[in-house]
Structure 1
Amino acid sequence: MASNGVKVSSLKKLGNRVWYRGRYWTINRPVKSTSKNKKMMVLASKTINGEKRVKLIHFGALGYGHNYSRQAKKNYLTRSAGIRDKAGNLTKDNPWSANYWARKILWPANQPATGPRKTAKKAA
């Protein structure tokens, strides 16, 4: 079963940041991932039953390029626009999906293609 995240109201706050899993986070602001195979992570927020909740999302596979040519960008955005979750919902519109954040941060539709062709894998 999918997680419903953590209530923001239950987290310790410091200004506009919240304490979650041992560090302070700015909600919906991507940072470099601590996962050995992912590029970035974000503490993503979503409102469920009128209550704001957060969930940690890792996205972007290390070793693969992102946003490196107009054709690659077009292909990725077209392909990823059709990805659905287990319930059949499109993931491109769900802030709790890695696809949403990859499209928004790594492959933004409204910016020119300027990313790296490959990214280095982290040392083991």
Structure 2
Amino acid sequence: MTVKGIDISKLKKVGSKYMYRGRLWSLNKPVKSSSKNKKMMVLATKTVNGKKRGKVVHFGQKGYGHNYSEKAKESYLARSANIRNKSGKLTKSDKWSANYWARKILWPSKKPATGPRTTRKAA
């Protein structure tokens, strides 16, 4: 089985950041996505076979609201809690999954919803 992700120790370190794919990254710190269809991206890290490895994860569909009401937030968190990867493992606790980062950054469970109290009805 091939090991996925890049070995973090092989990346050039500049201060507290790492050079990867032509840009400086702070590990596990989301930034605006370079993808035209996604809101954010992150150089996510986790330990695989005793080595710290990283992978760029894009998350959040552009054009869709996030965290706009308590009802929508509860619904999203309940729905996304059961998303599984190809191996059948839950993705809500996998740092290399978009679901993990969307739940943590866009739909944080311990913070109040930041948008309007109700959603607009379709015309």
TM-score, structure 2 as length reference = 0.91
Quote the sequence identity (%): 65
What does residue range 19-98 of structure 1 map to in structure 2 within 5 Å?
19-98=19-98
TM-score, structure 1 as length reference = 0.90
Q: Post-superposition, which runs of at least 4 consecutive aligned residues in structure 1 deviate over 4 A?
A: none
Amino acid at match of 2:31: V
Q: Which residue of 1 aligns with 2:111?
A: 111
State the distance in 2 between where 1:14 and 1:34 align: 21
CA drift at 1:2: 8.0
Structure having greater relative contact order (Cα 8 Å, sep ≥ 6)? 1
Other structure's SS at 1:77 match: helix
State the distance in 2 between where 1:52 and 1:3 align: 11
**Structure 1 segments unaligned to the other structure (5+ residues):** 118-124
State the distance in 1 between where 2:115 and 2:93 align: 23
Largest Rg, 1 or 2:
2
**1:50-79 Cα deviation digits (max 9, x unpaired):** 100000000000010000000000000000
Amino acid at match of 1:21: R
**Structure 2 segments unaligned to the other structure (5+ residues):** none
Distance change in 2, residues 1:17/1:66 (3 Å): same
Amino acid at match of 2:30: P
Aligned residues: 117
Other structure's SS at 2:92 match: helix
CA drift at 1:42: 0.3
CA drift at 1:17: 0.5
Amino acid at match of 2:70: R
Q: Cα RMSD (Å) of the superposition?
A: 1.6
**1:16-36 Cα deviation digits (max 9, x unpaired):** 110000011000000000101
